[in-house]
Chain A
Amino acid sequence: MDLELSNDQELLRDTTARFIESVCPLTAVRELGGSKSPEGADYRRQAAELGWFALLVPEELGGGTVSGNGVADAAIVAEERGRGLQPGAFVASNSVALGLALEGSDEQRKVLTEIAAGEATATWALASADGDWSPGAGITATVSGAGFVVSGASGFVQDADLADWLLVTAAGDDGLSQFLVAQGTPGVGITVLEGLDITRRFSEVRFDDVEVPASALVGTAGGAAGTVERQLQVALALTVAEMVGAMDRDFEVALDYAKARTAFGRPIGSFQAIKHLLADTSLALEMSKSMAIAAAKAVGEGKDDATEVASMAKAFVSDSAIDLAQNCFQVFGGIGYTWEHDQHLYLRRLTTDAALYGDAAWHRERVWEFYGL
């Protein structure tokens, strides 16, 4: 995707691609079907060795970047993950890592070290149960004695049942707060849901007046808005990178098919009806790539307009991804409707990605808010 990678970044991409191909190719993703513990500890530890969970973690905690821009580095991993429709809460894990790196207590920074090493996993409860991604939309926190009571429900929490730690973003009277909550905390109810996307698994997490100690608070009570925003930016930059990887692969396969499949005595790709559809689709793909690069750059370098660029990228790529998956489906024709063909996996994944961390319409509205209009 990015045309100006350093040698080290190229190496990161190559090793990531080789790892995915050998350990979790699409045939394996299919078997998982999102139904059981997908990757397992081996997969996670090997991925951690490649640096997947450490790119946004400070060096003294076992992390480090490849290029100096950890978000751009993570976007390289994300793109390869997207190509291979990899399971696992890579995006959420890295967003949590950023939050803990910025605001975590000493205890929480120990958790961060474990996350970076692949010894512990974390995911993020941000959206409300009905899919509102405005931070704090579904969960509230109130002060109670020395600690807090967390109530409400969160949707789209990836691998919530497998994660050792949940980062919960909650609204309170003073503003947003975040809590790092351990798996198994009483009152936390996790329901694994089935859904359109069968390459990953999402849960609804309910917080039934969960009592959490003050030590679970990440940063200050009511003061998390800035950190949440930065976590969201990272989630957006990495999500669009995963999407662009998946789009690139889906398009590649459709293009090969258009050259190989014949009808009416010709390869179907020689018909302008198909050729022009693919040309338009490849334009959307190239534009999406350039948007993903812009987002990783703006977010990773902490630019003033990172909020806007990340939202613009998510809005643009979300619309383009669904168009692309639909257009590829059309090129494949009937075979794209068969379970054995991979097309539907891409359609399912990309359509779900379009909703994750806010859909296109939500991000277009965020652009107005960025300008204070």
Chain B
Amino acid sequence: MSEVDVQESVEDFRARAREWLAENVPKRGSAEARPRGAEGGRLMGGSRELQRALYDAGFIGITVSKDFGGAGLTREHEQAFREESAPYGYLPGPNMACAGPMLTHASDEFNREHMPKILSGEHTVVQFFSEPGAGSDLAGVRTRAERDGERWILNGAKIWSTGAAHATHGMCLARTDWDVPKHRGLTWFYVPCDARGVTVQPIKEISGGQDFCQEFFDDVELADVDVIGDVNDGWTVTQTMLVYERGAAPGGGGGIAMMMRPAKRRLAPDLVALAEKSGRTQDPQVRQQIARAHINDFARGQLGRRVGQLIAKGVANPAGIASYGKLASGMLDPIRARIGLEVGRTSALLWESGDVDAQSASLNYLNGRIMSIAGGTNEIQRNGIGERVLGLPREPSFDSDKPFRQVVADSENWTGKVG
């Protein structure tokens, strides 16, 4: 607020954004609009050129300080841009799950060096977070970074990194102290994907797709300047990351609250199409199931609005509140996918070779549990809601007070004895 130069007014900014978008971006659903995957497309910047153009025009990093390559404007400017850009669907941009925590916790030196490149799309960053042995138990990571003179040496493995095959950098959580409790010995690093010792491999998923990767680190050399936040204070950074992930951060619009909804509601079109295919639109049971799915879809949208309102009001625990949206998806997606198979009957289970449309019900079924597992399972969301929103007492903990080294040993020799 101490900036001397005159700031562009919100109205001028809004007008400029409207004009720029109309000239440079095809509207969602128009012929030129290129298909962008809902999540992967956004995170990875469906088009790097467009991200660069948006950045150069000052529409990315709107509230980020100029020192770090942003536009140095206000939340109101950002909100104005969000409103103007809504008709265009998802626009490419930096992965805020990484950029957000960096802006909050990384050193000025780090942000001056890297943030302009991240905002412009020159760097694309993914999370190196989950491990084969640490998913829901995020603080249980075993990838290690060890001090060696002036350097850090990274060893271990990560998995479920979205789009890492196309990323330039990973934001990697590693254990830097094994002799303190699990949450206290963690540190985040900025790891170039092309560094020596980094191997990125795509994973083939049950759907046949390859959206995720696993990474192996074999004596990867890192420097102090690559540390994000304080050494051994990685859990603080993680908390910020989770808030961004769930869309609960300021300017995040409340995650699912911002999910695009068609202007004119239709009765679950995909399911009605399946019922038409199986000739069962008049079957009372089919009608009940489809209406149930349709109503649940609508209710999720309304919940999203509510969650957004609660977060905008500044509730004490935005990440806990955001868990409601995540849990709703995690519980209702599998049900909806199953209804698709039931309604479509044979046509949903068997198709002529190469009939891509016909496969969608089966594909949805295979993907139906993504939201109930990825990014914190239903069970983790329920703990979050139960403990942080409802104020229920915590479970007894077997791993929070002793050195992580001891936690690992005890878990492998489990006796069931407490204390």
Contacts and interface: CB of A to CB of B under 8 A. Distances in A.
B194 interface: no
Contact of A367 (B284, B294, B385, B387): B294
B103 interface: no
B324 A283 contact: yes
A286 B324 contact: yes
A270 B295 contact: no
B306 A290 contact: yes
Nearest to A280: B382
B358 interface: no
B236 interface: no
Interface stretch (B13-21, B137-145, B177-185, B391-399): B391-399
Interface string A133-160: 0000000000000000000000000000
B392 A280 contact: no
Contacts of A278: 386, 390, 392
A373 interface: yes
B389 interface: yes
A294 B390 contact: no
B385 A293 contact: no
Interface in A245-273: 255, 258-259, 266-267, 269-272
A312 interface: yes
A192 B286 CA distance: 38
Contacts of A258: 392
Contact of A312 (B284, B295, B393): B295
A282 interface: yes
Contacts of A315: 291-292, 295
A82 to B, nearest CB: 18
Contacts of A293: 302, 306
A112 B324 CA distance: 44
B257 to A, nearest CB: 11
A368 B293 CA distance: 12
Interface in A283-338: 283, 286-287, 289-291, 293-294, 305, 308-309, 312, 315-316
A259 B313 CA distance: 27
A4 interface: yes
B327 A279 contact: yes
Interface residues of B, number: 44
B292 A364 contact: yes
A339 interface: no
B299 A270 contact: no
A11 B310 CA distance: 21
A286 B303 contact: yes
Contacts of A272: 379, 382-383, 395
B294 A316 contact: no
- Counting chain B CB atoms within 10 Å of each CB, the highest count among A289, A305, A315 belongs to A315
B112 interface: no
A269 B288 contact: no
A282 B384 CA distance: 12
A275 B387 contact: yes
B299 A290 contact: yes
Contact of B309 (A3, A312, A365, A373): A3
Contacts of B288: 361, 364-365
A270 B310 contact: no
B316 interface: no
A281 to B, nearest CB: 10
B299 A275 contact: no
A270 B395 contact: yes
Nearest to B306: A290
Given A267-B393, A316-B295, A368 B324 contact: no
B298 interface: yes
B265 interface: yes
A299 to B, nearest CB: 14
B267 A291 contact: no
A6 B210 CA distance: 50
A279 B339 CA distance: 24
Contact of B272 (A266, A287, A373): A373
Nearest to A289: B306
A68 to B, nearest CB: 20
Given A270-B393, A275-B383, A373-B267, A283 B328 contact: yes
Interface in B345-396: 379, 381-383, 385-387, 389-396
B291 A280 contact: no
B386 A275 contact: yes
- Counting chain A CB atoms within 10 Å of each CB, the highest count among B284, B288, B299, B327 belongs to B299
Given A3-B310, A270-B395, A272-B395, A371 B302 contact: no
B287 A368 contact: yes
Interface string B113-147: 00000000000000000000000000000000000
A110 interface: no
A340 B305 CA distance: 39
Q: Which 8 A-B pairs have the closest CB atoms?
A: A364-B291, A290-B302, A275-B386, A279-B382, A269-B392, A270-B393, A279-B385, A290-B306
Interface of B: 265-267, 272, 281, 284, 287-288, 290-292, 294-296, 298-300, 302-303, 305-307, 309-310, 313, 324, 327-328, 331, 379, 381-383, 385-387, 389-396
Given A283-B385, A290-B302, A316-B296, 13 more contacts: A259-B391, A271-B395, A274-B392, A276-B382, A276-B386, A280-B331, A293-B302, A308-B265, A312-B299, A365-B284, A365-B287, A368-B290, A373-B281
22 contacts: A4-B309, A255-B390, A258-B392, A267-B392, A272-B395, A274-B392, A275-B383, A276-B386, A279-B383, A282-B385, A283-B327, A283-B331, A283-B385, A287-B328, A291-B302, A294-B302, A315-B295, A316-B295, A364-B288, A365-B284, A373-B267, A373-B272
